Amino acid sequence: MTNHYVEPLNSVDRYAVVGNPIAHSKSPLIHEAFAQQTGQAMTYERILAPVDGGFATVIHDLIAKGYKGVNVTVPFKFEALKFALINGTVNPFANRARASNTLLFKENGAVVADNTDGLGLVNDITKNLKFDIRNKRVLLLGSGGAAFGVLQPLVEAKPSLIVISNRTFAKAEDAVKILSEIVDLSRSDTVCVAKRFDQLDELTFDLIINSTSTGLTDSVLPIPDTVYAENCLAYDMMYGRETPFMAQARRNGAQVADGLGMLVEQAAEAFYLWRGVHPDTKPVMDKIRALAK
């Protein structure tokens, strides 16, 4: 009879994604594929956290159980940053984004917060979709944690214009103000301004990014059909469904992409932070796309 070696449980590092809702998350499939590709002994799971102030309790519990890190999704990215400010350190991208989507739990109990959303978005747009952001006019819809996470990398990609638009105009103005504190826009070729949705009638954009969660509820954003320039790329950070934003963009002749590529690319950056190895994203992206069909 052949004896099979079973690796002890304590030799397998544990990771998770924390959010609410969370059942739809593809992150476990992605990180399992990364682990298999790179030979890493680890597990990865979904964890639902309560939205009534229970996020910190969940993270403390995971640390106590020996988890090595987590990804953080809607609506806890601001809370993740606050947690790290109290319990550890904050890396530059998370500090500048004022939000965190990745936490690393160190051996001494300290927590390191990072934000890989912006790199994931820009990598997907420029490398996978082959869209050059330089000198383009960009419309960013929303000013929540997802938007803050991508602002600095977007500026570093050197578009000529970034317009931030939000249902609550004051939040869009705050985003521009915070961005000006993060990046010295006076030394940049990028102009960044806030606009109300009803101020977009006379503007067109080469790249439109929807960072809002309206796709989860099939809500329609009140943006005019005239915002789509010729050869416009309309990018929705949501994935796994045709959102009203994507449908509107298709009707107006735009190239349309969902956020699955961003999800895989930001996951690769988080995986590198945790494991010190950068996985090949293309086969993983192809695998997730095939499973979705």
CA 101/CA 158 separation, integer angstroms: 24
The Cα–Cα gap between 280 and 201 comes to 41
Beta bridge partners of 176: none
266 labeled part of a ligand binding site: yes
Given 65, 68, 77, 82, which residue is catalytic?
77
Any known ligand binding at 117? yes
| Backbone φ, ψ for residue 230 (5° rounding) | -60, 135
152 is in an annotated binding site: no
Residue 110 assigned as binding residue: no
271 has binding-site annotation: no
List of E strands, 49-136: 69-72, 88-90, 102-105, 111-114
Is residue 77 among the annotated active site residues? yes
**Is 261 annotated as contributing to ligand binding?**
no
* Contact yes or no for 77/49 (Cβ under 8 A): no
According to the annotation, is 11 in a ligand binding site? no
101 is in an annotated binding site: yes
Establish whether 157 is an annotated binding residue.
no
For the chain, the first-to-last Cα distance in angstroms comes to 42
Residue 262 is assigned to a ligand binding site: no
Give the Å distances, CA to CA, from 231 to 47, 61, 105, 203, 228.
Answer: 40, 48, 43, 15, 8
Q: Is 27 assigned a ligand-binding role in the annotation? A: yes
Question: Does residue 195 have a known ligand-binding role?
Answer: no
Is residue 142 classed as helix, strand or coil in its secondary structure?
Answer: coil
Which among 182, 185, 239, 169 is positioned nearest to 210, based on CA atoms? 239
Residue stretches of the annotated binding site for NADP(+): 142-146, 166-171, 237, 259
Residue stretches of the annotated binding site: 25-27, 73, 101, 117, 142-146, 166-171, 237, 239, 259, 266
Residues with catalytic roles: 77
Residue stretches of the annotated binding site for shikimate: 25-27, 73, 101, 117, 239, 266
